[in-house]
A = this chain, B = another copy of it.
Amino acid sequence: MKDRLKLLNRAARIQYRIDSNNKRPRPFGTSYLMYQSEIHFIDAIGPGDGLNASELSRKLGITNGAVTQIAAKLLEKNLILKYRKDENKKEVYLKLTEEGVIAFENHRLFHKELNDRMLEYLEGLSGEQIDVISGLMDVIENYLPDIEKEEEK
Contact = CB atoms under 8 A, between A and B. Distances in A.
Q: A interface, how many residues as a size bin?
A: 35 or more
A144 B21 contact: yes
Contacts of A143: 114, 117
Number of copies: 2
Nearest to A125: B132
B24 A151 contact: yes
A114 B144 CA distance: 10
A7 B134 contact: yes
B122 A18 contact: no
Interface string A1-21: 101110110110011011101
The 10 closest A-B pairs by CB, nearest first: A4-B122, A132-B132, A129-B132, A21-B147, A121-B139, A17-B144, A4-B119, A8-B118, A10-B137, A1-B123
